[in-house]
Structure 1
């Protein structure tokens, strides 16, 4: 996370928790000459349009008050989608039994990309079932992890 994203997370996370939402990710990016602050939220029941509107109204006020971004930007609040990123140990534990794609920073067991089912999650590792073989990956080696939607 960039400094701006970290600052925004510290400002809005208490309000999100109060409202019953989890902060999944923040993206602060410039596209086509405009700045965007994208907030991704989740909750066990999923996210609807009303949830995004409620969160947007509440955090917009906070962001105006603390003013962590010195120029104009567009605030967008949305769900992380079916292929949501997994970032914290609790994310891996919550989605035990689900399929995931993981990329590591450096080769692990001779490769950097893994696709399998989460069969266990600990504070510092995640265990995947990949074609009947269990592989334990240290979370410190995980560069990115996303759920794989199955239809």
Structure 2
């Protein structure tokens, strides 16, 4: 049985889902877990969850005779990787960082640099697959008044399929004042 399958099966048996599995050259096995997505339920992985999975994986990997030097189990964090269709569905409406496998080239039609591969914007579903919408205007400075006469900057849209993505992650946006992010809705509403 492949290592990926062993770990995924063990993690799923404990009620979690495997987000990422990485094996380093030094013998470290890094396992990232999360709770399965259920509409309206957003649980957060804590230290006790990681400890529970670590103990079970240590036992399972010993039984399966998997060679490793160190095991690290963690939560996906605020810059969680998006791996498949389910992750994109789950985080629709959130701000994401997308890196394409190839630069935009002529398809950019002069809207962005032809060699650009990295984009940050709001993830949305489109007819052809997925899209990221963003504005090039810098974020307003806290405490500074914004003129009502100011023109609304144009929005840019990048459409893509999952095959064109090298990497996609949630954008690590932290608000220390307790205000909600623009794309986050209050639970229960």
If the length of structure 2 is used for normalisation, what is the TM-score?
A: 0.68
State the aligned residue count: 140
Higher strand share: 1
Distance 1:68 1:126, change over 3 A: farther
- Does residue 128 (structure 1) correspond to residue 132 (structure 2)? The answer is yes
Larger radius of gyration: 2
Q: Which 5+ residue runs of structure 1 have no aligned equivalent? A: 1-5
Give the match for residue 138 of structure 2: none
Runs of 4+ in 1 over 4 A off after TM superposition: none
- Does residue 26 (structure 1) correspond to residue 24 (structure 2)? The answer is no
Aligned 8 A contact 1:26 1:40 in 2: yes
Q: Which 5+ residue runs of structure 2 have no aligned equivalent? A: 36-41, 109-113, 136-154, 176-189
Cα RMSD after superposing both structures: 2.0
Aligned 8 A contact 1:87 1:145 in 2: yes
TM-superposed CA distance for 1:115, in Å, is 0.8
If the length of structure 1 is used for normalisation, what is the TM-score?
A: 0.84
Could you tell me how far apart the structure 1 residues matched to 2:88 and 2:72 are? 26
Give the match for residue 97 of structure 1: 93
Give the match for residue 39 of structure 1: 31
Listed as ranges, the matches of 1:2-151 within 5 Å are 7-30=2-25, 34-43=26-35, 44-69=42-67, 72-108=68-104, 109=108, 110=114, 111-120=116-125, 125-131=129-135, 132-150=155-173, 151=175
Distance 1:112 1:19, change over 3 A: same
